[in-house]
Structure 1
Amino acid sequence: MARGLEEEDAAQEGPVPHGAPLRGAAVTEVPVHLPFLGAQKKSPPAPTQAPAPARAPRPAPAPRPAPGRRAPRVDERLREHRGPVLPGWIGVGIGGLALAGCAAVLWRAGAVPDTVVAAFGGAPRAYRGLSATHWPPLAFLGIVALLALGGLGRSRAGHAWVLTLFGRYRGTVRRTGLTWISPLLLRRRVDVRLRHWRSDPMPAVDSGGLALQVVVQVVWQVRDTARAALAVEDHVEYLAEQVESAMARVLSRLPADAFHEDAPTLRDTEAVGDALTRMLAAETEAVGIEVFSAQPTRIEYAPEVAEAMRRRRVAAIDAKHRDAVLSSVVDAVDDTVHRLTSRGLVELDDYERKALVKDLTVAFYTGRGE
């Protein structure tokens, strides 16, 4: 019975049949959302964006040149400044007062021998031992005496003290005489006098590859003690190495001798010294060294090529001398023939003129040779 009722309900809920359209009438389907368009607000039209201006193409990056050789960079953190220092008499006075205070404490405790007390005109006191009230002033005065007397030092003219604390630069002391510097600071003596250094014969080559031996004399001085002491391990050794390096670069630009032409050579020691000085000054500025002069005192060939170059030099000098003699003879012959013909003393045809020139040349050249 229940099943029959369900089937009957399902039959009633079936699809409703549509009526047939009228004959001759057009049928148009209306979308469901069209009747509700009037209630919606019309949105304003989206503004049209102006076309973005065309960007100019970026130029291709220029190729970077290969990094060349550069001088060492100066460390701006290392710059000499005045260090903490006091006159020596202040340390002596404070140390003396501290020792006198220690002696007074010991005297009050009776620990000073009677003979010493009597020598100073004091009244001896009975020794009662060092109590707890005596140790603090003794320790304090003893530390003051150690600091005051331990910081005393003698500074000589032409030298400076570079001070450091736990590896950090604390200043430079150029003061001379008796000075007091904190004993907690580590001291390093630096020579700031004008100095000169003469090298041993050093090997080098000229622009033609010929082996040379060169001796250089350098006049220099430490200008910045902080850089000289801390920027390099040993500034004197650094200078010697830079002298050899700069000398090799300067000498390789020119030939040692130009036998058959007038060209700059290494025999122009003034120009070579100027170039060497400029190069050395740039290399040593980073370590606080000022180079005043770097002059080659001797430039000679190495022993293995010295004899061959000596013969070549003699031959070049002889050829130059012969050329000078021949030029003077030719000028003399030309002047003689011109005077003879211009004054009408002789009349010469081409054959006779050539013969006269030949005879005069032989005569003049023989006379010059003698």
Structure 2
Amino acid sequence: MKTSENKSIVTGEHPFEGVCLNGFLVLFLDLLLIAASVALIFQTQLLGDWVIIVSIIGFLSSMLMWAGFMQLEPNEARAMVFFGKYKGTFKKTGYFWVNPFTAKKKLSLRARNLDVKPIKVNDKAGNPIMIGLVLVWRLKDTYKAMFEIDAQTMANSGVQPGAISGDQTVGNRMNAFENFVKIQSDAALRQVAGQYAYDDNEVAESQLTLRGGGEEINQQLVNELNNRLSMAGIEVCEARINYLAYAPEIAAVMLRRQQAAAVIAAREKIVEGAVSMVKMALEKIDNEGIAKFDKEAKVKMVSNLLVVLCADEAAQPIINTGD
């Protein structure tokens, strides 16, 4: 008996299959019922006092029917709950009427942006860095979103006194989901950032870094976020690092280090070019027979050319006019 009961328990989103009627048709019938109930009151002398009871019952029934109307726009959904039991998710757009005793919890399926403010983490090399991201997320599974996490309590905690309208309720509910996404985004960002160095000064050039990783780092963030948010029925469509810098306490030191690395790289390029130019000059002089130098003269010429080509300032040559 317990096995059959467990099999009947729904643990995922499925379409609502209960009674669903055209809202405009039911609205017309409801207004007709109200008009008939009011008209019967004026027929008590002709039909008797029992007409009053019928009129009251008809009027109360028409008022109860108002609770069954609902309107859905594109990319909106309603989680249908009948006395605590999940009956499915309604996603059709339009104006409808369902069982008025069914709770209709409104959810938005539209994509939303979340800008995660920069947080301080340690990269793979142990350097403190500031890193932030921006992501696009949306609800994918309404059942998990409503019943796998305590979204209702989180939403109610943000409701101001007297704010009981449907739009305010769904707004607070979506804000609760956004807060859940933000907390999980911080955790995922810390985990991914700790697996890589800030740049290739700390690791081999062949290894992936936060500054040079680009799409690979972003895709890993998407995968990590989806793993964390799947329990809440939330899907991350895109995630990108939008802020990356060293923490203020080491930013100045790392800037000098980067400047030194740039100077060294520039010097290496200058020396490499100067050596090739000196070699080309000596070969051209020898091949064309412009002049003949002994070994000592070549050494002096190479030294002078390297000084001229590698100097920071413009050279001021001294012309030898002879005796």
Band of TM-score, shorter chain: 0.7 to 0.9
CA contact (8 A) 1:190 1:229 kept: no
Correspondence 1:230 to 2:175: no
1:78 to 12, 31, 35: 12
| Unmatched tracts of structure 2, length 5 or more | 1-8, 152-176, 316-323
Q: Which residue matches 2:305?
A: 360
Q: State the distance in 2 between where 1:95 and 1:243 align.
A: 49
Residues 364 and 164 (structure 1 numbering): CA distance in 2 closer, same or farther, change over 3 Å? same
1:12-91 map, 5 Å: 77-82=11-16, 84=18, 85-91=20-26
Percent of residue pairs bearing the same amino acid type: 22
1:167-219 superposed Cα distances (whole Å, 9 cap, x missing partner): 32212222334322322112222111121111122222211111122221101
Residues 324 and 300 (structure 1 numbering): CA distance in 2 closer, same or farther, change over 3 Å? same
Q: Which residue matches 1:297?
A: 242
CA contact (8 A) 1:274 1:294 kept: yes
CA contact (8 A) 2:13 2:89 kept: no
1:262 to 187, 205, 208: 205
CA displacement at 1:104 relative to structure 2: 4.2
1:1-370 map, 5 Å: 77-82=11-16, 84=18, 85-110=20-45, 130-131=49-50, 135=53, 137-138=54-55, 140-234=57-151, 235-259=177-201, 262-263=205-206, 264-268=208-212, 269-366=214-311
Q: State the distance in 2 between where 1:363 and 1:134 align.
A: 114
CA displacement at 1:293 relative to structure 2: 0.8
Q: Which residue matches 1:68?
A: none
User: Which has the larger helix fraction?
Assistant: 2
Residues 76 and 99 (structure 1 numbering): CA distance in 2 closer, same or farther, change over 3 Å? closer
What residue identity is the alignment partner of 1:81? P
| Unmatched tracts of structure 1, length 5 or more | 1-74, 111-124
Residues 155 and 342 (structure 1 numbering): CA distance in 2 closer, same or farther, change over 3 Å? same
CA displacement at 1:96 relative to structure 2: 2.2
CA contact (8 A) 2:124 2:196 kept: yes
Q: State the distance in 1 between where 2:228 and 2:99 align.
A: 35
Higher Cα Rg, which structure: 1
Q: Which residue matches 2:156?
A: none
Return the structure number with greater relative CO, CA threshold 8 A, min gap 6.
Answer: 2
Which segment is superposed worse, 218-227 or 173-182?
173-182
- Alpha-carbon RMSD: 2.8
What residue identity is the alignment partner of 2:25? I
Residues 237 and 96 (structure 1 numbering): CA distance in 2 closer, same or farther, change over 3 Å? same
1:123-180 superposed Cα distances (whole Å, 9 cap, x missing partner): xx59x6x34x753x34652453133222123333442211112332212222334322
User: Which has the larger strand fraction?
Assistant: 2
Q: State the distance in 2 between where 1:322 and 1:76 align.
A: 69
Q: Tell me, what secondary structure is at the counterpart of 1:232?
A: coil
CA contact (8 A) 1:91 1:151 kept: no
CA displacement at 1:248 relative to structure 2: 1.3
Q: Tell me, what secondary structure is at the counterpart of 1:199?
A: strand
Residues 104 and 204 (structure 1 numbering): CA distance in 2 closer, same or farther, change over 3 Å? same
CA displacement at 1:297 relative to structure 2: 0.8
